Amino acid sequence: MEKSIRKLLLSAMALVTVFALSACGEGSGDKDAESAGETTTEAKCEHVEKVIQGLDATCTAAGKTEGKECATCGEILVAQNEIPATGHTEAVLSAQAATCTTAGKTEGKECSVCGETLVEQTEIEALGHTTTTGTCDRCGLSFGSWELYYYVDEFQQPTNDGYVANGSYFVGTFSNSATTNSRLYVTVLADEEDIAFFLYEYGSYQVKNASSRYSDEYEITMKLSNGTKYEMTGTMYAGGDRLFVDSSYRSKVLNALKSGEEVSFYIVFADYTTSTYLFTVQTNNFAEEYSKL
Ligand SMILES: [Zn+2]
Ligand SMILES: [Zn+2]
Ligand SMILES: [Zn+2]
């Protein structure tokens, strides 16, 4: 008997518990309904979109995307996102080799977008010529190389007739229809009557006039170190191996050679104007040697 009563009691308690649980569930359901009703009764803003300007990122500063907010209530409708800084865009500033007379630069870097220097170029000092007396090994420039020579007679004996010429070649360039800026060697000869140039293409092949009848005419532009230019003419006679400065210009060239300054010559073959010769003469001790004639 007692056992069955206890069973009944337990069953009754279980029923009460189930009821209590379901009642709690109903209660919470009522509360949700109430709160939903409250929200719908609040005044709703009819948002008015207003653009928040974006900001471009730069190399070093972050930017922002365009955003939107409500002009009325200020609510952010589209958030702005940060755009990370782009970082610099490296551009190489190429190195420049120093020469005997001009300074060079090391390689540098700059930003091609904002122009900021990222790696500074440093100056490389001009190297200077390898010598001040003979011919510079690096650039071929000759110094103080004018020498007095004597013509020889038919017995290969020196005569009293002298001439002054550069003992080591002046180095220049020549161009024609087949080549551009190839190496040119030049000897300048001056005696009491004439001034002549010997031109060696590729440093060895001598320019000559192969004709036995016709002279070759050349246009010669002489440029002094102060920039003054003289337009002159020259002639390579039939069968000749040298270009004479025409006599009316001789004294001008002689004065330039005596100046002690650099003198440049640009020579054009009149028949084929694509054939050009360009070289610079160091006149250093020319005057001194010439005065001994
Ligand atoms: Zn609003
Ligand atoms: Zn930059
Ligand atoms: Zn040099």
Determine the pLDDT at residue 167.
85
Q: Which ligand lies nearest to the CA atom of residue 58 in the structure?
A: 2
Range name among 15-19, 100-104, 215-219 with the lowest pLDDT average: 15-19
* Interval 54-76: pLDDT, tens: 999 999 999 999 999 999 999 99
pTM: 0.54
Q: Which ligand lies nearest to the CA atom of residue 71 in the structure?
A: 1
Rounded to 5 degrees, φ, ψ at 227 are 95, -10
* Interval 15-30: pLDDT, tens: 444 444 444 444 444 4
Residues near 160 by Cβ (< 8 Å), separated by ≥ 6? 150
Going from the Cα of 61 to the center of ligand 2, the distance in angstroms, rounded, reads: 10
Check whether 228 has a pLDDT greater than 70.
yes
* Extents of the domains making up the chain: 65-128, 146-290
Between 97 and 5, the more confident residue is 97
Going from the Cα of 67 to the center of ligand 1, the distance in angstroms, rounded, reads: 14
* Interval 103-147: pLDDT, tens: 999 999 999 999 999 999 999 999 998 876 667 788 877 666 799
Q: Which ligand lies nearest to the CA atom of residue 68 in the structure?
A: 1
Residue owning tokens 């010529």: 129
- State mean pLDDT over 213-234: 97
* Interval 254-288: pLDDT, tens: 999 999 899 999 999 999 889 999 999 989 889 99
